[in-house]
């Protein structure tokens, strides 16, 4: 229910169902393709407590949510019949050629990014097992796990054929079959039996040069585009009674031979040139290449531009059997983790420490959005120090030419993926040292210089006094929305509220079943289940009143609202009523957190005396400016 509510709010924020062409999701964000980006309310979405950040890049409107993005995506698609495919592209704002390219790449690779990363990690574990002598290649255990880890990469033409077909608006099963033909055992056997450079077979008199397309990327993408193009035109010409089987027949009969005759050889040549070009640039100065990638990778991630480099890494594995770009990203990721460690060590309030702790755990496993958007980027200096640490660490990896032997996304498991077939060597030691340098530098720099209050005075500039000791510039009083006894927020039996993640405040155990407005202001949110309401005061305080713990599960039962969203209210106006006995008899805790969700806009939020009874409209919170 909570995910459904958030999904509905996000859908409204992007301009409604009619403004959405397609949507996919990656590890932490929803990626919308909108018909008119001007209809989206980016500012409003950023204020939503369930949204970490909103990014508009690469022709996509990206809503960063966090690790539970899959559940929100499922609720979004089920509730609105949205589609991943690009069938409805007509009328959409396609953007620049570069933006469209990024959109195509992300649309093709995003659906299977999780299993691809998992396959890479499993390959890394197998390499570690071989290096440590735990397994041998001849053992059945190794062979079974190797097959599990290698299946995704070997059968890339099938997997990419399916997702590319969906992205290009064609029949994904037709394009998947084209990919299947490319790795069919008959074709692989013909390749193995073929003399080097010789055309031993013909297609209607045209000589065939067989190529091993296992693990290839670019050929099947081009073949899927050609098939989708042909399919759309065939569908317009053929009568409706014949389309369902004649159109796939035409695509298979035309595109499969075309792939083996033209598309495949040309794309394979282009893939080799791309890999050779990267190798040339890298070997000019691996150290500079490392520093460059370490510094700018997270900047690319912010704008979604990293998708332009993902196919290059995968192509390196396909053509060369290894990749030197992936290891350079490890210090870039861990540099941001180090910066968050510095923020957490320096922070004094529980909310920042809790946010930093969760961001660190996510960052270690390669998910840096919570660290970047939630902690580092808003403070600016920690993000910069993280990038500098990433550059220093990646320069070391570049100097020693650390290489990855299986694909994945940079995280703690990447260390297993850089173990050479011959076993541990200096390239692995360089990866450990470079990553450690990135973390330590970013953490120390952030701890000592990462915030304005840590900055040392310079000549002509007064020292900035920490906010905790500054004299209040003013205060705002928030009245109690109900009658009951006050308890400290950290005593609430819900870790989300107790940690202060949603804001500072206090909790009330109510003795009367009504909620009144604590301020003069506007109702900005009212959950469909009516158990929680948000008010924005006339002077900008954002107040969340959440009646009970887990009462969302009641689905509105025992709650009666008396206002609607956008209603203008005065202090003391009745907002909603609830049945105390009904809720408690149903087994729910009625402890009601009253939070200031924009607590960061204030020096402090001071609650009324804990343990005392407070009456509605009496002072409850004092906000210091």
Give the DSSP H or E segment for 114: helix 113-131
State how far the alpha carbon of 423 is from the alpha carbons of 57, 123, 456, in Å.
Answer: 41, 14, 48
Strand 613-614 to 532-537 pairing: unpaired
Instruction: Select which of 25, 306, 530, 546 is catalytic.
Output: 546
Instruction: Select which of 26, 251, 387, 486 is catalytic.
Output: 26
On whether the CB atoms of residues 230 and 250 are closer than 8 A, the answer is yes
State how far the alpha carbon of 341 is from the alpha carbons of 337, 367, 385, 442, in Å.
Answer: 6, 15, 12, 8
State how far the alpha carbon of 352 is from the alpha carbons of 230, 251, 345, 383, 506, in Å.
Answer: 55, 56, 10, 16, 17
| DSSP secondary structure letters along 469-538 | GSPPS-EEEEE-SS-EEEE-GGGSS-HHHHTTTT-EEEEEEESSSEEE-SSSEEEEEE-TTSSEEEEEET
Q: Is 604 helix (H, G, I), strand (E, B) or coil?
A: strand
Helices (H), 259-399: 264-284, 286-302, 310-320, 325-346, 350-364, 369-371, 377-379, 381-399
How far apart are alpha carbons 591 and 555 in whole angstroms?
Answer: 18
Residue 132 annotated in active site = no
Which tokens is 137 given?
């290649």
On whether the CB atoms of residues 84 and 24 are closer than 8 A, the answer is yes
CA atoms within 13 A on the CB side of 554: 27
How far apart are alpha carbons 481 and 475 in whole angstroms?
Answer: 19
How far apart are alpha carbons 609 and 488 in whole angstroms?
Answer: 9
Give the DSSP H or E segment for 605: strand 604-607
For residue 515, the cross-strand partners are 576
Spell 208-223 as b/e; 16+ CB within 10 A means b. bbbbebbbbbbbbbbb
- CB neighbours of 218 closer than 8 A, spacing ≥ 6? 267, 268, 270, 271, 274, 311, 315
| DSSP secondary structure letters along 214-241 | TT--HHHHHHHHHHHHHHHHHHHHS-HH
Helix, strand, coil % over all residues of the chain, rounded to 5: 55, 15, 30
Angle between helical axes of 140-154 and 156-167 (0-180°, round to 10): 30
Which tokens is 136 given?
């041998």
3-state SS string for 69-94: HHHHHHHHHHHHCCCCCCCCCCCCCC
How far apart are alpha carbons 213 and 263 in whole angstroms?
Answer: 12
State how far the alpha carbon of 435 is from the alpha carbons of 282, 398, 412, 438, 441, in Å.
Answer: 20, 12, 10, 5, 10
| Catalytically annotated residues | 26, 546
């Amino acid at each position: 229910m909570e995910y459904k509510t958030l999904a509905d709010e996000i859908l409204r924020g992007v301009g409604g169902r009619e403004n959405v062409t397609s949507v996919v999701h990656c590890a932490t964000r929803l990626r919308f393709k909108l018909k008119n980006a001007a209809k989206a309310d980016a500012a409003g979405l950023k204020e939503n407590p369930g949204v970490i950040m909103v990014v508009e890049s690469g022709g996509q409107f990206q809503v960063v949510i966090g690790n539970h993005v899959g559940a929100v995506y499922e609720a979004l698609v089920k509730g609105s019949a949205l589609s991943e495919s690009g069938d409805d592209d007509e009328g959409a704002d396609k953007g620049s050629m570069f933006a469209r390219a990024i959109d195509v790449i992300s649309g093709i690779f995003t659906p299977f990014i999780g299993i691809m990363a998992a396959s890479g990690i499993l390959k890394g574990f197998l390499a570690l097992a071989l290096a440590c002598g735990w397994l041998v290649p001849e053992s059945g255990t190794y062979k079974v796990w190797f097959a599990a880890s290698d299946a995704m990469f070997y059968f890339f033409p099938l997997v990419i054929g399916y997702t590319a077909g969906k992205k290009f608006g064609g029949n994904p099963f037709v394009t998947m079959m084209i990919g299947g033909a490319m790795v069919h055992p008959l074709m692989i056997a013909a390749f193995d039996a073929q003399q080097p450079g010789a055309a031993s077979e013909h297609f209607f008199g045209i000589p065939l040069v067989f190529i091993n397309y296992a693990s290839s990327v670019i050929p099947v993408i081009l073949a899927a585009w050609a098939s989708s193009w042909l399919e759309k035109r065939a569908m317009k010409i053929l009568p409706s009674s014949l389309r369902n089987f004649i159109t796939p027949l035409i695509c298979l009969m035309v595109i499969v031979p075309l792939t083996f005759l033209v598309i495949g050889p040309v794309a394979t040549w282009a893939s080799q040139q791309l890999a050779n070009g990267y190798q040339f640039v890298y070997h000019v100065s691996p150290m500079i290449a490392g520093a460059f990638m370490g510094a700018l990778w997270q900047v690319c991630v912010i704008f979604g531009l990293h998708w332009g480099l993902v196919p290059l890494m995968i192509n390196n594995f396909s053509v060369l059997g290894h990749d030197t770009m992936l290891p350079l990203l490890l210090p870039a990721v861990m540099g941001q983790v180090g910066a968050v460690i510095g923020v957490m060590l320096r922070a004094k309030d529980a909310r920042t420490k809790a946010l930093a702790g969760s961001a660190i755990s996510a960052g270690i496993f390669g998910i840096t959005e919570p660290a970047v958007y939630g902690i580092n980027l808003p403070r600016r200096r920690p993000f910069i120090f993280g990038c500098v640490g990433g550059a220093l660490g990646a320069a070391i990896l570049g100097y020693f030419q650390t290489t990855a032997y299986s694909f994945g996304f940079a995280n703690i498991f990447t260390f297993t993926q850089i173990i050479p077939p011959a076993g541990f060597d200096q390239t692995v030691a360089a990866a450990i040292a470079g990553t450690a340098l990135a973390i330590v530098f970013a953490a120390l720099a952030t701890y000592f210089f990462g915030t304005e209050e840590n900055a040392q005075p310079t000549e002509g500039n007064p020292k900035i006094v920490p906010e905790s000791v500054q004299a209040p510039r003013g205060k705002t009083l928030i009245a109690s929305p109900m009658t009951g006894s006050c308890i400290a927020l950290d005593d609430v039996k819900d870790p989300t509220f107790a940690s202060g993640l949603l804001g500072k405040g206090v909790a009330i155990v109510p003795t009367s079943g009504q909620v009144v407005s604590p301020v003069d202001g506007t109702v900005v949110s009212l959950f469909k289940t009516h158990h929680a309401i948000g008010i924005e005061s006339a002077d900008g305080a954002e107040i969340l009143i959440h009646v009970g713990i887990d009462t969302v599960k009641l689905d509105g039962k025992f709650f009666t609202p008396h206002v609607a969203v956008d209603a203008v209210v005065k202090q003391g106006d009745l907002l909603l009523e609830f049945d105390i006995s009904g809720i408690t008899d149903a087994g729910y805790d009625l402890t009601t957190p009253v939070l200031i969700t924009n607590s960061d806009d204030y020096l402090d939020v001071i609650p009324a005396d804990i343990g005392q009874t407070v009456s509605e409209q009496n002072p409850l919170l004092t906000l210091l400016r």
